[in-house]
Amino acid sequence: MLTKLHIQNYAIIDEIDIDFSSGLNIITGETGAGKSILIGALSLILGDRAESSTLMNKEKKCVVEGSFKTKARKEIRSFLKENELDLEDDLVVRREIASNGKSRAFINDTPVNLTQLKALSSLLVDLHQQFDTLELGDNDFQREVLDALAGNGELLQQYATFFHQYTAAKKELQELQQQQLTANAALDYNQFLFDELDEAGLKENELEELDAELKLLSNAENVKQQLSAVYFELKESDQPIVQQLKSLSNKLHSLEEYHTMIPDLTKRIQSAQLELQDVADELESIDNAVQYSPERIQIVNDKISVGYKLLKKHGVNTTNELLAIKDSLQEKLNDILNLGDVIIKKEKETKELSHQCETLAASISSNRSKATKPFAEKVNNLLVQVGMPNAQIKVHIEKVSLNIYGIDAIEFLFDANKSNRFEPLRKVASGGELSRLMLCIKSLVAKKLQLPTLIFDEIDTGISGEAAKQVGLIMKDLSSSHQLISITHQPQIAAKATAHYFVYKAIKEDRITTSIRLLNNDERITTIAQMLSGEKPTAAALQNAREMVGN
C-alpha cells in the first residue's frame, strides 16, 4: 500500500506531499491542473526513464519518494533477500534526477539500479493508464488473466522449470546428433587410418631400432672380421694381451715389499686384466650373435619401408609420433561409439522431460478450460453493470505445440451488439469499451490474486451517467480489499471515494505551480456539484452531490 508520496521540483510541481488512504483514493481537478503530472512523477519510482527537461528548477535536483507498507508479503521479502536489501515491512523508494539528467534510485536509502527498481515496483504498484487498454488485446495479457483466475500459478512455475530443462536437453540432443553426423562422415576414413597403423604392428622406437639392425646386418661380414681380430689379440694370439697383463701383475706382486706404491699399481694392472677379460668375452658373444641373414635383411627392409611410408603419410619423424596418432584415432573411434550411448541416454532424458511437460501442460490447459465459462459470465455481468448490456466476451482456446506457456493459444473474442459474431477483442472493441472491459477484468483478477496498489489514470474515459456510477461501485467494492488510486472526471466515481484529493494550480513567486489538497466532506460536495453543473453549482447540483456522497 502506498501510504505517502513526496514530489519535489518535477514539471510544474514545486513540492507536495500526499498521504493516501488504504481504500479508494480519488484525484480530481480541472483539465491541465496537473493530475497526470502526478502519475508521471509516480512513474519515476516505478522505473520509467528520467529526463532533465522535467525539472522545474534547473538548479535543483528532482526528488520523488514513495512510502509503502508491504504487510510482509512473501514475494517482496524474497526480492529484498535476493538483492541483499534490508528486510523491512515499510519501504521507502526514492528517485533523484540531477540537473544534468543523471538519475539515481534508492530502496530504503540503499542505491539500486533501474532493473531492481522496476522489479520491486511491479510488486508494489499496478499502474493503468489510458493507453494501457491496448494491453487487453494482447494474447500474453489474456493468457495471464486466465491463468490467474484458473489458479495456475504454482503449476506454471513447475511447468516452466521442466520446460527449460526439456528445451536444454532437446538442444543438447540435437547438438549430439549433429556431432554424430559429422563423426560418421569421418568414421570410415579414421577407421582405415587406424587399421593401417594397427596392421603395421609398430612398437615403441621400433623403426629407429630396425634402422640400427639393418646397418649391422648389411655390414655383418666386416663387423665379424674386426671383432674376431680384436678378440684374437686379447685372448688367443701367441702372446694374448690378457695373459701378458696377468704375467706383469705377478712380477709386480713379487716386488710389493720393496715399495709402498707397488701394491696399488699391482691392483690396477689386475683390474685392467679383468676388464679386458670381460671385454673379450663380450666381443666373442657379439661375434657369435652377428650372423649375416638375407632373410632377416628382407624382413627388416620391408618393415622399415612400411614404417617410412606411414611417417611420410602422417607428416611425422618418429615411431612414437605414429603411435601417438594411432592412440588419437582410437580415442576418436571410441568417442563415436560412446556418442551413440550418450545419444540414447539423452533421448531417454528428453522423452521423459517432454512427458512431464505434456502432463503439466495438460493440467494447466484443463484449468484454463474450466475457468473460461465462469470468467466470461462474470465479465458479461459486469459489462451490463457498467452500461454495456449488449456486449459479450468469450474465450477461445486453441491447442498448439508445446511452448513456454503450455499447449494453448488464447484469444479473447468480443461482440459489442449481440450479433453473435465474435471477433478478436483487439480488432473490434472501441477505446471506451476497452476501458470498461479492463476495469471489469482487473476487478476479477484482483479478487483472485493479491495484486499491489491499483492506480487508474482516467480509466473512465468515454462513459458517464449510470455507467459511471456502476464503475464507481465496482471500484468501491474493489477498494475494500485493495488500495485504489484513480484520476477521474466523473462525479459518480468521485462520490465513492474514501479520500478525495483536488489538484489545482496556484501562483508561487510569480510561477504557476501544481498543488493538491485532501478535501473535507463539504469541499467534496462542492467539488462534485461543480463536476455536475459547472463552476457555480446550482442548489439542485449541490443536493444531488450530497445524495451521491451520502450513498
Please tell me what DSSP assigns to residue 466: H
Cα–Cα–Cα angle for 518, 524, 525, rounded to 5 degrees: 170
Counting every residue written for the chain, the total comes to: 551
Asked if residue 6 belongs to a domain, the reply is yes
Burial of 141 per CB tally in 10 Å (0-12, 13-18, 19+) = middle
**Cα–Cα distance measured from residue 35 to residue 252, given in angstroms and rounded to the nearest whole number:** 130
pLDDT at residue 130 greater than cutoff 50: no
Strands 484-487 and 453-457: parallel
Which H/E stretch holds residue 454?
Answer: strand 453-457
> Between 448 and 160, whose confidence is greater?
160
Residue 226 has phi, psi (to 5 degrees) of -70, -40
Q: What is the mean pLDDT of the chain?
A: 85
Query: What is the structure's pLDDT at 135?
Result: 60
- Same domain membership, residue 300 and residue 214: yes
pLDDT range class, residue 132, cuts 50, 70, 90:
very low
**Cα–Cα distance measured from residue 61 to residue 100, given in angstroms and rounded to the nearest whole number:** 9
- Same domain membership, residue 192 and residue 119: no
**Torsion angle (degrees, nearest 10) of CA 96, 102, 108, 110:** -150
Of the residues 281, 316, 339, the one at which a domain ends: 339
**Cα–Cα distance measured from residue 112 to residue 37, given in angstroms and rounded to the nearest whole number:** 24
Of the residues 339, 374, 404, the one at which a domain ends: 339
Q: Please give the grid coordinates belonging to residue 441.
A: 477484468
- Same domain membership, residue 295 and residue 180: yes
Query: What is the structure's pLDDT at 221?
Result: 72
Structural domain boundaries, residue 31: 1-129+458-519
- How many domains does the structure of the chain reveal? 2
CA distances from residue 341 to 170, 335, 336, 344, 348 in whole angstroms, order as listed: 16, 10, 9, 5, 11
Question: For residue 183, what are the contacts with CB-CB under 8 A and spacing of at least 6?
Answer: 332, 335, 336, 339
- Same domain membership, residue 185 and residue 123: no
CA distances from residue 301 to 214, 243, 320 in whole angstroms, order as listed: 7, 43, 19
Q: Please give the grid coordinates belonging to residue 160.
A: 516452466
- Same domain membership, residue 327 and residue 181: yes
> Between 172 and 184, whose confidence is greater?
172
pLDDT at residue 7 greater than cutoff 90: yes
Asked if residue 37 belongs to a domain, the reply is yes
The beta-strand segments (E) located in 308-391 are none
Strand ordering across the sheet containing 62-69: 13-19, 2-10, 62-69, 90-97, 103-107, 110-112
Could you tell me which residues are beta bridge partners of residue 504? 515
- Same domain membership, residue 125 and residue 180: no
Asked if residue 528 belongs to a domain, the reply is no
Residue 425 has phi, psi (to 5 degrees) of -50, -40
- Same domain membership, residue 217 and residue 93: no
Asked if residue 525 belongs to a domain, the reply is no
Q: What is the pLDDT of residues 269-291, one digit of tens each?
A: 889 888 888 888 888 787 777 77
Mean pLDDT over 468-489 rounds to 87
CATH number of the domain where residue 484 is located: 3.40.50.300
Q: What is the pLDDT of residues 142-154, one digit of tens each?
A: 888 899 889 898 9
Q: How many CB atoms lie within 10 A of CB 530?
A: 18
Helix axis angle for 74-82 and 114-124, nearest 10°, is: 170
Strand ordering across the sheet containing 511-518: 125-128, 453-457, 484-487, 24-29, 499-508, 511-518
Mean pLDDT over 156-166 rounds to 95
Q: Please give the grid coordinates belonging to residue 503.
A: 489538484
Could you tell me which residues are beta bridge partners of residue 6? 17, 65
209 residue type, one letter: E
Query: What is the structure's pLDDT at 523?
Result: 92
Mean pLDDT over 356-383 rounds to 94
Mean pLDDT over 351-361 rounds to 96
Mean pLDDT over 532-551 rounds to 87
pLDDT at residue 365 greater than cutoff 60: yes
- Same domain membership, residue 257 and residue 327: yes
Query: What is the structure's pLDDT at 420?
Result: 86
Query: What is the structure's pLDDT at 126?
Result: 74
- Same domain membership, residue 275 and residue 198: yes
Burial of 35 per CB tally in 10 Å (0-12, 13-18, 19+) = buried
Mean pLDDT over 87-116 rounds to 88
Please give the share of the chain, as a percent, with pLDDT higher than 70.
95
Query: What is the structure's pLDDT at 364?
Result: 96
Query: What is the structure's pLDDT at 449?
Result: 66
Of the residues 321, 339, 357, the one at which a domain ends: 339
- Same domain membership, residue 72 and residue 203: no
> Between 452 and 205, whose confidence is greater?
205
pLDDT range class, residue 125, cuts 50, 70, 90:
confident
- Same domain membership, residue 98 and residue 195: no
pLDDT at residue 393 greater than cutoff 80: yes
Q: Which residue has the cell 509503502?
A: 68
Asked if residue 392 belongs to a domain, the reply is no
Q: Please give the grid coordinates belonging to residue 492.
A: 459518480
Asked if residue 376 belongs to a domain, the reply is no
- Same domain membership, residue 330 and residue 244: yes
Asked if residue 84 belongs to a domain, the reply is yes
Query: What is the structure's pLDDT at 64?
Result: 93
Nearest CA among 49, 43, 36, 58 for reference residue 93: 43
Asked if residue 14 belongs to a domain, the reply is yes
pLDDT at residue 480 greater than cutoff 60: yes
Nearest CA among 83, 86, 92, 89 for reference residue 113: 83
Contacts 24+ apart (CB under 8 A), 357-362: 357/159, 357/162, 357/163, 357/166, 357/402, 358/402, 358/407, 360/155, 360/158, 360/159, 360/162, 360/406, 361/159, 361/402, 361/406, 361/407, 362/407
Query: What is the structure's pLDDT at 335?
Result: 74
372 residue type, one letter: T
pLDDT at residue 407 greater than cutoff 70: yes
> Between 233 and 274, whose confidence is greater?
274
Q: Kindly report which listed range (117-131, 241-255, 333-347, 470-484) carries the lowest average pLDDT score.
A: 117-131
> Between 304 and 503, whose confidence is greater?
503
Q: Kindly report which listed range (91-95, 180-184, 317-321, 449-453) carries the lowest average pLDDT score.
A: 449-453
pLDDT at residue 232 greater than cutoff 80: no
Q: What is the pLDDT of residues 430-472, one digit of tens each?
A: 776 777 788 888 888 877 766 678 888 777 766 777 778 888 8
**Cα–Cα distance measured from residue 113 to residue 91, given in angstroms and rounded to the nearest whole number:** 16
